[in-house]
């Protein structure tokens, strides 16, 4: 992926949540942004990226991207990330709390049934989405960032790996076709006796 990888994954995740809303009885949209944003009013679900961390197991790994024609593109010095999202029940006008919880259930069902984000929308990369445990303390810390927002039912998801690649792939040197180094007796200068 490129420098816009975080945005592309966020948009792909929002699209999946919106697909889930079409199957629920709750009309509405998915708002991407802070929990206390005035524009979030009326959204059925709110998607908030609350944490970005380096993926420990993929650090210092090459990122190989398979192309439609060989050879694959290899990026060295890529940054693999884990993105942590909070999915929160919104405040859709005229909808009861129960209806909004049903919408959240459909969203969870959608992500559990197909936990892989991939395709042209995220540069043909594969990103896995999984439910992330959210302790009461961590949830409290997140909600304390927004003192004017009332607490709403929330769940956390992890999207990984999200690769931030260098602008250009690694270019390997040309192959050595012939080795002209000499070793052993032939490499010693002649010494007159």
Domain parsing of the chain, residue ranges:
5-168
The mean pLDDT of 173-191, rounded to a whole number, is 63
The model's pTM is 0.82
Taking each helix axis from N to C end, the angle separating 97-113 and 5-23, rounded to the nearest 10 degrees, works out to 120
| The pair of three-digit structure tokens given for residue 17, joined into one six-digit string | 């949540």
Residue 82: the pLDDT is 96
32: which strand partners?
47
Q: What is the pLDDT of residues 26-49, one digit of tens each?
A: 777 899 999 999 888 889 999 999
Q: What is the pLDDT of residue 190?
A: 64
What percent of the chain lies above the pLDDT cut of 90?
49
DSSP single-letter state for residue 92? -
The CATH label, of 1.20.120, 3.90.1150, 1.10.10, 3.30.2000, for the domain at 5-168 is 3.30.2000
Q: State whether the Cα torsion 19-20-24-30 is positive or negative.
A: negative
**Is a pLDDT exceeding 70 seen at residue 141?**
yes
């Amino acid at each position: 992926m490129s420098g816009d990888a975080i945005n592309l994954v966020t948009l792909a995740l929002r699209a999946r949540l919106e697909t889930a809303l079409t199957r629920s009885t709750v009309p509405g949209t998915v708002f991407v942004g802070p929990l206390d944003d005035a524009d979030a009013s009326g959204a059925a679900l709110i998607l908030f990226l609350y944490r970005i961390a380096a993926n420990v197991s993929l650090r210092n790994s090459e990122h190989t991207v398979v192309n439609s024609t060989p050879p694959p593109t290899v990026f060295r010095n890529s940054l693999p990330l884990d993105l942590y999202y909070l999915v929160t029940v919104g405040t859709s006008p005229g909808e009861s709390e129960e209806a909004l919880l049903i919408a959240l259930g459909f969203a969870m069902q959608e992500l559990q049934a197909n936990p892989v984000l991939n395709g042209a929308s995220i540069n043909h990369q594969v990103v896995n989405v999984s439910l992330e445990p959210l302790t009461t303390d961590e949830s409290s810390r997140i909600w304390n960032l927004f003192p004017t927002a009332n607490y709403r039912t929330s769940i956390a998801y992890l999207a990984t790996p999200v690769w931030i690649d260098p602008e250009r792939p690694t270019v390997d040197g040309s192959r050595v076709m012939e080795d002209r180094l000499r070793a052993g007796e032939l490499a010693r200068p002649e010494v007159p006796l």
